[in-house]
Amino acid sequence: MSDENCIFCKIVNDEIPSKIVFENSTTIAFLDIHPISEGHTIVIPKNHYKTLENLPDNEINTLFQTVRDVASLIYKRLQVGGYNIVQNNHEAAGQVVNHAHIHIIPRNKGDQRFKAKIPKSQASEEELNNVLEKLKS
Ligand code: AMP
Ligand code: ZN
């Protein structure tokens, strides 16, 4: 499953160069060409799926195994303070490349380029109940 216009499929098919960190039969991890921090890595399934919802169960499993293994490699070898896992789905959430992918973003205390802070504005009981009803009905 490949899309001839997709930049990440071109990486999978070795049609354009990339800096591959890890590869197995179903996944590939390569360095982001616009790194937020040193070692910023993209992990993808080799098959072309647009977003997370399209991924079949077995591919989710192997994809997240690769994310875990590469994150562990980055954490140990680059001796960073931590890392964020970011996964943008659809344009509204900032997805630019339409081939499902996961960012591993190495972090150090006090670094300023990437902010993963969740803003704290408490919802009312009614707001929480309203959304719960939409999700569960
Ligand atoms: P997004 O779709 O916003 O989640 O992010 C796509 C990411 O892919 C960006 O961080 C780009 O820098 C990265 N990217 C795009 N083209 C390439 C490429 N040819 N090789 C490596 N990374 C890429
Ligand atoms: Zn693709």
Looking at residue 54, its pLDDT comes to 96
- For 34-51, write each residue's pLDDT tens digit: 999 999 999 999 999 999
pLDDT at 119 over 90: no
From ligand 1's centre to the CA of 32, what distance in Å? 6
Q: Which CATH number fits domain 7-136: 3.30.428.10, 3.30.70.120, 3.30.365.10, 3.10.290.10?
A: 3.30.428.10
Instruction: Give the pLDDT band (50/70/90) at residue 118.
Output: confident
How remote is the CA of residue 120 from the centroid of ligand 2, in Å? Answer: 36
Number of H helices, E strands in the chain: 3, 5
Beta bridge partners of 56: none
Token couple for 122: 């408490």
Query: In the structure, what pLDDT confidence band is assigned to residue 117 with cuts at 50, 70 and 90?
Result: confident
Q: Which amino acids are annotated catalytic?
A: 101
Q: Map out the domains of the chain as residue ranges.
A: 7-136
What pLDDT was estimated at residue 128? 96
The mean pLDDT of 127-137, rounded to a whole number, is 96
Using the mean position of ligand 2's atoms as its centre, give its distance from the Cα of residue 121 in Å. Answer: 37
* Average pLDDT of the segment spanning 106-126: 92
Lowest average pLDDT, out of 27-31, 33-37, 86-90, 115-119, goes to: 115-119
Which protein residues have a CB closer than 5 Å to ligand 2 (ion)? 3, 6, 8-9, 48, 99
Query: Which atom of ligand 1 lies at the shortest distance from residue 16's CA?
Result: 19
How many residues in the chain? Answer: 137
DSSP annotation of 106: E
